[in-house]
Chain A
Amino acid sequence: MSKNNTIIEIKGLNHWYGNFHVLKEINLETRRSSCVVICGPSGSGKSTLLRCINGLEVFKEGDVIINGKSVSQCFHNHKELYKLRSKFGMVFQHFELYPHMRVLDNITLAPRRVLCLSKNEAEKSAMALLEKVGILEQAYKYPANLSGGQQQRVAIARALAMNPDILLFDEPTSALDPEMIRDVLKVMADLAKEGMTMLVVTHEMGFANAVADEIVFMEEGNIIEHDDAVTFFKCPKSNRAVEFVDRILVHI
C-alpha cells in the first residue's frame, strides 16, 4: 500500500461520550477508490467513527488525516471545518431529507450555498444525478411523497452533488423495506465500481461480500478485525467475527 494512495488515515483515535469510551485507540488506513464496509453489533461505535472522519463529531484524542490534511487542526477554524465536511458526502439511516424542500432543492441547497453555483448550474447537475440514481421523475415532489427507497436515492444524489472525494454511508438500508433495499444497494455498487471511495456501515453482508474491498469488524469501540473481504468471509481470524458472520449468514 503506497503512502500517496492513502486517502483516510486514522491515528490513535479515541472518543468519549461523557464517561463512555465509545472509540478506543482506532487505527485505520483507507486507500483511494476502495469500498470499506464497517460492521459489528450495534453500539460498537461504527456511526461515531464515520462522524469523526468528516468532522461532525469533535473527537477528543488522536487524529484523522484526509488527503494529508489533519481533521483535528480544523476544530479550531470553523471555515476549515466546513470546507473539510464539504469534501464528504454522507447518507443516513433515516435519509434526513429536508422535508420542507422539494427533491430538487434538497440536492441543490449545498452546491448553491457552499460552492456558490448558480441556480441553473446546480439544477442541471442535480437532474443528471437524479437520472443516475433512477428517479428523475420525482424531482419536483416533496420527500414525504416518495417511498423510502426513493428518498434514500435522493439522499445519495444530494451527497454526490457536492462532488465529494469520499462517501460515508451510515446504515443506509436499515430503515428500508426489503424490496427497496436492492435499488439502493445497486446504486451504491455502481458508485463503488466507478471508483468512488466509500465507507459503509451496514449489516448487509451480501453487499459486503459482493462489493467491499475490505471489511472492518468493530465491537465495543475497538476494531477487532480488518481484512480484505475474501479473507474476512472465508477465514475470519477472531472468534467474535466468526460468531458475527455465522449469525448474520444464518439469518440470511
Chain B
Amino acid sequence: MLNYTFDWSVIWRHPYGGWLLEGILITIQLSILAWGIALFLGVIIASLRNLPQKWVKAVAAAYVETFRNIPLLVQLFFWYFAAPELLPYSARQWLYQNIEPTTLSYYTAIISLSLFTSSRIAEHARSGFSSIPKGQYLAAFSTGLNTLQVYRYVIIPYTIRVFIPPLTTEFVTIFKNSALAMTLGVTETTFMSQRIDSYTFHGLEATIGAMVIYLLISLSVSGLMGFVERFLYIPGLIRKR
C-alpha cells in the first residue's frame, strides 16, 4: 500500500524553514508592490476611459483589453524572454551585465503582475464610476461646487464604496497569481516549496505547506479588507459583513 513516511519537519527544519520563510516574504513583497502599482495604473486608465476625447478612450480601452485577455503566464514570458529582444543591442548588453538575473526576474514579475492586474482594476473602477447616478453630478454642480470639489466630496467617496468589494477580490487574487513568478525563477513561496521537494523528496509536505500558507494569506487579506469595508460602511451602499 502507501509506502511513504511523512516528515513534516521539512517545513521548518534548517535550512528548509528559512527558505520557506524567505519565500513567504518575497510573495508578500511582490504582491503588495505589484498591487500598489496596479491600483495606481488601474485608476488612471479608468479615468482616461471616462474622458470625452475619443482617441484617449480608445487607447485606454486597448490597454485594458490587451492585458486582461492574455494569460498571465504568457505575459510573464513575454516580458522576461521576448521584450528584452526588442531593445537595442547595447541596452540589452547593459541590462544583462549590470543587473543580477534574480533581480531582473523579480522586477519582471512585478511589472507583469501589475500590468495584468491594473487592467482588471481599471474595469472595476470604470464600472464603479459608471454606477454613480448622473443626478449626483447634477445635484452637486447645481449647488455651485466646482469640478474638483464635486469629485473630491461627492463622486470619489461614493465610487470608493462601490469599488471596494471587487478590489478585495483582486487583492486576494494577486497573491495567488504571484505563484506564477516561480516560472521566472523568483524565489517566492511556490518556488521554495518545489526546491524543498528536490532536496528532500518530501514534496507532499512542502506543497501542502505552501497551500496552507496561501490559504492563510488569502484569508487574512479578506479579513483585513472586511475591516476596511466595515470602516467605510454606509447604510445603503456597502453590505455589512
Contact status A96-B157, CB under 8 Å: no
* Interface residue A114 (Cβ < 8 Å from any Cβ of B): yes
* Interface residue A217 (Cβ < 8 Å from any Cβ of B): no
Cα(A87)–Cα(B143), bound, Å: 8
CB contacts (< 8 Å) of B3 on chain A: these are none
Cα(A98)–Cα(B157), bound, Å: 10
Nearest-CB residue, chain A, relative to B136: A96
Contact status B138-A92, CB under 8 Å: yes
Contact status A113-B138, CB under 8 Å: no
* Interface residue B88 (Cβ < 8 Å from any Cβ of A): no
Q: Given A98, A142, A145, A159, which contacts B154 in the complex, CB threshold below 8 Å?
A: A98
Contacts A100-B161, A143-B236 hold; do A82 and B139 have CB atoms under 8 A apart? Answer: no
CB contacts (< 8 Å) of A90 on chain B: these are 138-139, 142-143
Contact status B135-A94, CB under 8 Å: yes
In the complex, which residues 116-156 of chain B have their Cβ closer than 8 Å to any Cβ of chain A?
133, 135-136, 138-147, 149, 153-154
CB contacts (< 8 Å) of A82 on chain B: these are 144-146
Contact status B234-A142, CB under 8 Å: yes
* Interface residue B158 (Cβ < 8 Å from any Cβ of A): yes
Contacts A90-B138, A92-B135, A142-B235 hold; do A100 and B143 have CB atoms under 8 A apart? Answer: no
State how many residues of chain A have any CB contact under 8 Å with chain B: 32
* Interface residue B237 (Cβ < 8 Å from any Cβ of A): yes
Contact status A85-B236, CB under 8 Å: no
* Interface residue A202 (Cβ < 8 Å from any Cβ of B): no
* Interface residue A34 (Cβ < 8 Å from any Cβ of B): no
Contact status B149-A56, CB under 8 Å: no
Contact status A109-B153, CB under 8 Å: yes
A96 vs chain B, min Cβ distance (A) = 4
Residue-by-residue, is B217-239 near A (CB-CB < 8 Å gives 1, otherwise 0)?
A: 00000000000000000111100
Contacts A142-B235, A142-B236 hold; do A98 and B142 have CB atoms under 8 A apart? Answer: no
CB contacts (< 8 Å) of A168 on chain B: these are 142
Cα(A158)–Cα(B161), bound, Å: 23
Residue-by-residue, is A215-236 near B (CB-CB < 8 Å gives 1, otherwise 0)?
A: 0000000000000000000000
Contact status B235-A144, CB under 8 Å: yes
Q: Given B141, B147, B149, which contacts A113 in the complex, CB threshold below 8 Å?
A: B149
Contact status A78-B146, CB under 8 Å: yes
Residue among A85, A100, A114, A155 having the largest count of chain B Cβ atoms under 10 Å: A100
CB contacts (< 8 Å) of B140 on chain A: these are 98
Contact status B138-A56, CB under 8 Å: yes
B146 vs chain A, min Cβ distance (A) = 5
B234 vs chain A, min Cβ distance (A) = 5
* Interface residue A14 (Cβ < 8 Å from any Cβ of B): no
Q: Given A54, A94, A109, A145, which contacts B142 in the complex, CB threshold below 8 Å?
A: A54
Contact status A100-B144, CB under 8 Å: no
Cα(A85)–Cα(B140), bound, Å: 10
Contact status A56-B141, CB under 8 Å: yes
Contact status A98-B158, CB under 8 Å: yes
* Interface residue A51 (Cβ < 8 Å from any Cβ of B): yes
Cα(A168)–Cα(B141), bound, Å: 14
Residue among A51, A85, A96, A168 having the largest count of chain B Cβ atoms under 10 Å: A96
Nearest-CB residue, chain B, relative to A168: B142
CB contacts (< 8 Å) of A86 on chain B: these are 143-144
Contact status B146-A99, CB under 8 Å: no
Cα(A162)–Cα(B140), bound, Å: 12
B208 vs chain A, min Cβ distance (A) = 44
Contacts A/B (CB < 8 Å), 8 sampled = A56-B141, A78-B146, A90-B142, A92-B139, A98-B139, A142-B234, A144-B235, A145-B236
Residues of A within 8 A of B (CB): 51, 54, 56, 78, 82-83, 85-90, 92, 94, 96-100, 109-110, 113-114, 142-145, 155, 158-159, 162, 168
Given contacts A88-B142, A89-B142, A99-B236, 10 further A-B contacts (CB under 8 A): A51-B138, A56-B141, A85-B143, A90-B138, A90-B142, A92-B135, A94-B135, A98-B153, A100-B161, A109-B145
Rank and list the top 7 A-B pairs by shortest CB-CB distance, nearest first. A86-B144, A144-B236, A110-B143, A96-B139, A90-B142, A96-B135, A144-B235
